[in-house]
A and B are shown apart, each in its own frame.
Chain A
């Protein structure tokens, strides 16, 4: 009976393991325990965990916990509020004087000074450091010297940054940019301790920052353990003892682990589980708007899409898409039909205007048919929507969009889906201008400003203007908005620019994406910020 003893041993081991976990949770008692640690799902960050090198949400989660910048975006409203900044003053929207609050330190004891910021920004901008977010420093004077488009860099430091005294530094921009202070909450602008520069490898292996958590241990590719930093000087102290972020390859497994009680927090509920989520989790599920907009972009370098009259065809395509039905059936209402080119998280004051798109985003097959006919018809009689098939449920919705277009136009061959194997390949085809028809374009905001939804995407030659759309009127309005020192007027100008995007249908807005999270019974106070990242430090564990 060797099999028998074997099985008994297994059951024994399982029982021991269960008992061990049970003890772990029992000791924390019934009510909120400030010392308890929660576990949450995570994905392997694509790049090393440096502030100016992290441009995706997984690495951003950690940076958000271990760093505090000059500004911080309110988790609920998205408004930029002073964090480390005592004041950010300017008289001309171009020269800024930044004063830092006294009393902030890094978790290794080093004081946060003006130099911590200036060194970090110089590092981030410098070409030789290969930082993916370098372009964030592009507005600062001297960027073209430390980060030339081609050739060797001729300077190591941005000439626009000057340390005045221990807690003050000045920033000079190359152009007027009134909302520049509000961008400073982005991770790329975080301060860095000397240890980052002196022993870089050790720092990357175990990052040291100035946020409410410190890194206890980091096993690349599987887990990072963050613990509360007891001496954290800020007001937003962690309400729990720490967070263990565990890497999951598949969010379905994370969800299963949550159901089995092995995981406390899942911040990306898989699409396949959406119909069960109410039954499985009850009210321990959150589904809130995030600063993500999905659009269809067009290749303006292709003459067929750029000739006069094509704006009618694009608007026609937009009107042929039944957004409401697709968001309900495919996404189970975790997307909201888009009615402008920004995001509801900006709020009314921030520039979100519900219905700015107007008729152009309303589903109307008759109007769609008419518009496309007037505009000269689809180039070659048909369109192919290109997308990357490796992540998300892109295939499902692209096919649904095509079906909707085909039905509206009464032509079964009007629209087809064109999958590309990997995201990298998809991106490289876009940069090499190989698109021949509409393609998937998603935009996750860097900071909650209307500027971030328009300028990088539609300004001539902007970094994410994948379709190479160019419009003088739009560029002019954006320039004027950036110069405007009154925020309300700036927003108004940006909205006028957005109207230009609408009138030309530069890209078809599809839907606003929501962030979702599900959690175990131990947790309370779970919130998602506008970047769809859980606000870890406010979570209470019982």
Chain B
């Protein structure tokens, strides 16, 4: 087990380097960021040159990349164009997005899996059909439509929530944005769980458990659900990274100042340091999530062993 983890961690290094290099090059291809700093006019050449020097933009790309990677190792992610350290931006943005992601994941697990088990056990009944129909609708409606609609109904028409999230972004205010963010994945989780449960219901170990005279609740939770969760866990694990980076739309609608907002701002202003810094951390989150998911397989299914 320990060896497996070490091997996986070592494998992350090339993935990490490759991903950051790609991002670095992509942002670089977008052109000269200094040109956008002076509004609708040409930066005077002397100031532009000084700015380029300050942000290291006067060096060749490969050198910029090496310097950047060297700095990252020491925990220095550089400075954004507005004079803020990127680490400072991260320290304000990531907690917010992590809270949002947690809310979303909770919705996925609690509602998604519950509905999945319910429909899986009652396949073909009215409950199953109606839930399937609802998930179909949720999947096919884009997030921003759901978001704007809920914001308008709950926030403006009925006055139940604040349409925007305050800068402190406590859990209470993140419930609706979290639900919106989770909606599509939630529908997928429901469908995945349902299929998995329906399939495993007829397997030998379930029949054995029922034949042993175990209570129904125990059969469903301990035997059926645990084994059916493997595809769901894979999906949710990958979804954590996706939710954190892909919250741009939701964060924009509800004015949440998280990772999505910083990335959006960074891309608009072609702020290499911000974009690469945030994406680097997101890449790490993705890699770690995947590792945790793989380790969870062994916990869920005793047949899987890592040497």
Binding site for B on A (CB under 8 A): 10-11, 13-14, 17-18, 44-48, 55-56, 127-128, 130-132, 134-135, 147-150, 204, 219-223, 246-250, 253-254, 256-257, 259-262, 390-391, 421-432, 441-444, 456, 463-464, 466
Contact A249/B261 with A18-B159, A45-B82, A46-B37 known, Cβ cut-off 8 Å? yes
Contact A256/B42 with A247-B257, A262-B162 known, Cβ cut-off 8 Å? no
B268 contact set on A, CB distance < 8 A: 390-391, 422-424
B35 contact set on A, CB distance < 8 A: 424-425, 427-428, 430-431
Contact A422/B30 with A45-B82, A431-B42 known, Cβ cut-off 8 Å? yes
B92 contact set on A, CB distance < 8 A: 219, 221-222
13 sample A-B contacts, Cβ–Cβ < 8 Å, listed by A number: A47-B37, A132-B43, A248-B164, A248-B255, A253-B163, A257-B164, A259-B156, A422-B270, A424-B37, A426-B36, A428-B34, A431-B35, A463-B41
Contact of B30 among A47, A246, A261, A421 (CB under 8 A): A421
Which residue of chain B is the closest to A420 with respect to CB atoms?
B31
Q: Are B164 and A253 in contact (CB under 8 A)?
A: yes
Contact with A along B24-53 (1 / 0, CB 8 A): 000000111111111111111111011100
Whether a CB of chain A sits under 8 angstroms from the CB of B239 is: no
Q: Are B82 and A134 in contact (CB under 8 A)?
A: no
A-B residue pairs, 9 tightest by C-beta:
A424-B36, A428-B35, A222-B167, A427-B35, A464-B41, A428-B32, A425-B31, A424-B270, A48-B83
- Bound-state CA distance A150–B50 (Å) is 10
Interface residues of B in 59-91 (CB under 8 A from A): 81-84, 88-89
Whether a CB of chain A sits under 8 angstroms from the CB of B267 is: yes
Binding site for A on B (CB under 8 A): 30-47, 49-51, 54, 81-84, 88-89, 92, 151-152, 155-156, 159-164, 167, 172, 175, 251-255, 257, 261-262, 264-265, 267-270
Which residue of chain B is the closest to A221 with respect to CB atoms?
B257
Contact of B46 among A150, A220, A222, A390 (CB under 8 A): A150
Which residue of chain A is the closest to B40 with respect to CB atoms?
A442
Contact A204/B83 with A13-B172, A56-B39 known, Cβ cut-off 8 Å? yes
Contact of B159 among A253, A260, A391 (CB under 8 A): A260
Which residue of chain B is the closest to A442 with respect to CB atoms?
B40
- Bound-state CA distance A438–B125 (Å) is 64
B303: min CB distance to chain A, Å:
32
Name, among B159, B257, B264, the residue most crowded by chain A CB atoms within 10 Å (CB to CB): B257
Which residue of chain B is the closest to A50 with respect to CB atoms?
B83
B36 contact set on A, CB distance < 8 A: 422-428
A13: min CB distance to chain B, Å:
5
Contact A464/B42 with A10-B172, A132-B47, A250-B255 known, Cβ cut-off 8 Å? yes
A55 contact set on B, CB distance < 8 A: 38-39
- Bound-state CA distance A248–B254 (Å) is 9
Contact A466/B162 with A222-B257, A256-B156, A422-B267 known, Cβ cut-off 8 Å? no
Q: Are B54 and A130 in contact (CB under 8 A)?
A: yes
For the A-B complex with A14-B172, A149-B45, A221-B89 known, give 10 more contacts whose Cβ atoms are closer than 8 Å.
A46-B82, A246-B167, A253-B254, A256-B152, A257-B164, A422-B267, A424-B37, A432-B32, A464-B40, A464-B42
- Bound-state CA distance A130–B55 (Å) is 12
Which residue of chain B is the closest to A45 with respect to CB atoms?
B82
B161 contact set on A, CB distance < 8 A: 14
Q: Are A428 and B40 in contact (CB under 8 A)?
A: no
Contact of B155 among A131, A247, A248, A260 (CB under 8 A): A260
A223 contact set on B, CB distance < 8 A: 167
Q: Are A148 and B257 in contact (CB under 8 A)?
A: no
- Bound-state CA distance A220–B84 (Å) is 8
Q: Are B39 and A134 in contact (CB under 8 A)?
A: no
Which residue of chain A is the closest to B262 with respect to CB atoms?
A221
- Bound-state CA distance A398–B152 (Å) is 31
- Bound-state CA distance A284–B252 (Å) is 26
A219 contact set on B, CB distance < 8 A: 92, 167
Name, among A128, A221, A248, A257, the residue most crowded by chain B CB atoms within 10 Å (CB to CB): A221
A131 contact set on B, CB distance < 8 A: 47
Q: Are B156 and A260 in contact (CB under 8 A)?
A: yes
Contact of A134 among B44, B49, B89, B167 (CB under 8 A): B44
B48: min CB distance to chain A, Å:
8
B32 contact set on A, CB distance < 8 A: 424-425, 428, 431-432
Contact of A147 among B46, B160, B167 (CB under 8 A): B46
- Bound-state CA distance A416–B159 (Å) is 45
Which residue of chain B is the closest to A135 with respect to CB atoms?
B44
A247 contact set on B, CB distance < 8 A: 167, 255, 257
Q: Are A256 and B47 in contact (CB under 8 A)?
A: no
Which residue of chain B is the closest to A21 with respect to CB atoms?
B162
Which residue of chain B is the closest to A429 with respect to CB atoms?
B31
Q: Are A128 and B50 in contact (CB under 8 A)?
A: yes
B250: min CB distance to chain A, Å:
11
A463 contact set on B, CB distance < 8 A: 41-42, 44
Contact A425/B270 with A13-B172, A131-B47 known, Cβ cut-off 8 Å? yes
A261 contact set on B, CB distance < 8 A: 159
Contact of A130 among B33, B51, B162, B163 (CB under 8 A): B51
B264 contact set on A, CB distance < 8 A: 249
Name, among B51, B164, B264, B265, the residue most crowded by chain A CB atoms within 10 Å (CB to CB): B164
B161: min CB distance to chain A, Å:
6
Which residue of chain B is the closest to A201 with respect to CB atoms?
B83
A456: min CB distance to chain B, Å:
7
B50 contact set on A, CB distance < 8 A: 127-128, 130
Name, among B37, B45, B254, the residue most crowded by chain A CB atoms within 10 Å (CB to CB): B37
B160 contact set on A, CB distance < 8 A: 11, 14
B37 contact set on A, CB distance < 8 A: 46-47, 132, 424
Q: Are A48 and B164 in contact (CB under 8 A)?
A: no
- Bound-state CA distance A221–B92 (Å) is 9
B7: min CB distance to chain A, Å:
40
Contact A47/B83 with A130-B47, A259-B156 known, Cβ cut-off 8 Å? yes
B269 contact set on A, CB distance < 8 A: 46, 422, 424
A464 contact set on B, CB distance < 8 A: 40-42
- Bound-state CA distance A219–B92 (Å) is 10
A426 contact set on B, CB distance < 8 A: 36
Q: Are B172 and A47 in contact (CB under 8 A)?
A: no
B61: min CB distance to chain A, Å:
16
- Bound-state CA distance A441–B33 (Å) is 19
- Bound-state CA distance A424–B40 (Å) is 10
A94: min CB distance to chain B, Å:
23
A18 contact set on B, CB distance < 8 A: 159
Q: Are B175 and A249 in contact (CB under 8 A)?
A: no
A276: min CB distance to chain B, Å:
12
Q: Are B163 and A262 in contact (CB under 8 A)?
A: yes
A147 contact set on B, CB distance < 8 A: 44, 46-47
B167 contact set on A, CB distance < 8 A: 219, 222-223, 246-247
A430: min CB distance to chain B, Å:
8
Q: Are B270 and A444 in contact (CB under 8 A)?
A: no
B45 contact set on A, CB distance < 8 A: 149-150
- Bound-state CA distance A259–B47 (Å) is 43
Q: Are B251 and A249 in contact (CB under 8 A)?
A: yes
B43 contact set on A, CB distance < 8 A: 132, 431
B138: min CB distance to chain A, Å:
18
Name, among A127, A132, A219, the residue most crowded by chain B CB atoms within 10 Å (CB to CB): A132
Q: Are A253 and B47 in contact (CB under 8 A)?
A: no
Q: Are A253 and B255 in contact (CB under 8 A)?
A: yes
B261 contact set on A, CB distance < 8 A: 249
B47 contact set on A, CB distance < 8 A: 127, 130-132, 134, 147
Contact A249/B255 with A10-B172, A127-B47, A463-B42 known, Cβ cut-off 8 Å? yes
